[in-house]
Each structure stands twice: as structure tokens, then as C-alpha cells.
Structure 1
Amino acid sequence: MRDDPVVVDLVLRAREGDAAAWDAIVERYAPLVWGVCGRYGVTGSDADDVAGGVWLRLVERLDTLHEPAALPGWLVRTTQRQCLQLLRARKRQVPVDDPEPGARGEEDGVDGELLVAERRHALRTAFAELPARCRELLSMLFAEPPASYAEISTALGVPVGAIGPTRGRCLDRLRRSRALAALQLA
């Protein structure tokens, strides 16, 4: 497959901005990307996010691909990295919901209520500091019920494949906010 002239042709045409070549690349290699996601146990909207990130990275890096015939291997490695990144991020996520009643331990009573109120205030402050685009996206994603990627795409005018990576960047900004950092220092 490394010497597949069809792959070389598609990559060269895509570099020139040929939309049909891009469509053909995605159609031809989407099953490969999804298969790698499946091997890592990444499914559903997480797999959508990973695939969107892979295609976005390809758009950004296609010109730097030295050997066009190596595209399938590049897609596999990039998908693996995106899956691992997602899985590592999932392990680092800390739920912001209130713990189960009685599970607070030292946070019981008035001090616990104050701490919960302080956390909520810090989260609201951090959320307010986000750019409007991030606030809109996160509000739609975390609404009850959450909006679908198709609905978000239409409402915000962004491609479906860009929603997951954008969500990740917005959540990273939220995690790094001054308001939440100040809460952790206290």
C-alpha cells in the first residue's frame, strides 16, 4: 500500500486544494481511523472527537507529509496519539458535581456548604472569563439535554469535525483559568 499511486495522487491533489480529493481521502480512510479508535475502546462522541481531530491535523500537516504514500501509516499513528490523549485527559478529569450526600467527609456542615458555594462561584467566574464562542459551545454541549453535534454545527457555523477539538481547547482554558487556580491555592 505504501506505493499505491491512488494515495499519492489523492494527497497531491488535496495539497492543491481539490475538495474531491479531500472527500476521497476521508471516505477511503475513515474506516481505518474508526478501527483504531475501536481498538483503543474509544466510541461514540469520543470517537467523533478523535476522528475530527485527526482530520483537522491532516489539514494542518498535509504539506509536511514527506512521503504521500505513507498517509495510511500517518493516519494510524495520529489516531493512536489522539486516542491516548483523550484517554489520559479522561483520567485527569475531576467531576464538578456535588458528591453524594454523606460522602463529603470533612466538608460536612457549614464549612462544606461554603466550600461548595465557593467552588460554584469560581467555576461561574472562570466560565464568564471564557471567550463568547467557548461559552456558547460549552453551554450547548452541557445543556440538559445536550445539543447534538449537528445542531451545534448549524447554530455556531462550525464543521462537525471541529466541535470536539474546540471543546477540548475550551475546557483546557477553563481548567487553566485564574479563578479556578486561585481556588486550588486556597
Structure 2
Amino acid sequence: MTLPDPALRASDAARRATVRALGPLVRAEATAEAPAAGIDAADLEQAVWLRLLERPAGQGPPADPARWVRTAVRAEARHARRRARREYAYAPGGPADDVTGCPERIAVGADERRALRAAVGRLPGRCPRLLAAMLAPHDPTYREIAGELGMSQGSLGPMRSRCLGCLRRMLAAEVVAPELRGKER
């Protein structure tokens, strides 16, 4: 194992000292400027710290730290205001929400329909025929379904309810709870 270069350790120590010294000033300036910029004070503070840490290592800390902080906070606030003027949210139903032709969505939808039809086929009694008729692509009416199955129209609703309850219980038993990962254990 190699030890870090002494110059690097000195540079890190100088940066830590700068962060400790400027912390309260950066927080106060960011809190004061954030409402006018329309952003969160913590986001503004983070942008200023990033700007400080991105300074070339050879430059060292700013000559006048208080002035540098005020200038950096105001510059980041101006940048945030300009960015907010240029950015527009998509309206619901706009191009970002249109996933009808999305290949991933088509594949997932096909898998879901295939799994549903397979589960319907495993139901007991007349449930598979009833639910298959209700899921038919031509969207039949209750009268048409009752005629096709040879049963009264009034008994379709209660039977459909029992069949859907059975399907719900069957699918709940098949769906495995996701495993916990990482620190959730």
C-alpha cells in the first residue's frame, strides 16, 4: 500500500479548512439568494461548493473568500434563473407521455395479456369461458355474453365477481414478493 503524496495531504487539509471556514457564509448567502432565484437554498449551496471544489488545485483558496462566496452565490442564482426561463415542462399527453408505439411498452403489454389469459384458463368451472368472453376483442354486451354461455343476464354480474375474486387470489399467490437488497435486510 502506498501512502498519499504529502502535497496531496496538505491540499486536502487546506480544502477541509476552507470548507469549515466558509460553511456558515455559504449557507447564509445561499439562503438569502435562493428565494429570488426560485430554487432551494440547499441546491444553491451545493452548486457553490461544487464551483469551489472545481477550482484548479494550484490556485488554492480564493484570495478574498467572503467576496468569492458572494460572487459565486449570485452567479449560480443567475444561472438558475436563466435555466428556469429556458426550461418548460411537457404538458400531459405531450410527446413524452406518448408511449403507444414504444417497443418496451408493447412487449410488456403482450406479456401481461399472455399471463392473464393463461391464468384465466386455469380458473375452475365456467369462469374461463365467462372471462374469456368478457375479454373478447369485439367487446360484447352482457346480453351477447349471456346468449353465448346459455345463462341468464342477471347471473353474469355475481358470477363475474366470484370469478374475478378467484383470479385475484390465484394471481396474488403466484406473485412473489420482491427480495430485499442492500441495506434493507
Larger fraction in helix: 1
Larger Rg: 2
TM-score, scaled relative to structure 2? 0.39
TM-score, scaled relative to structure 1? 0.39
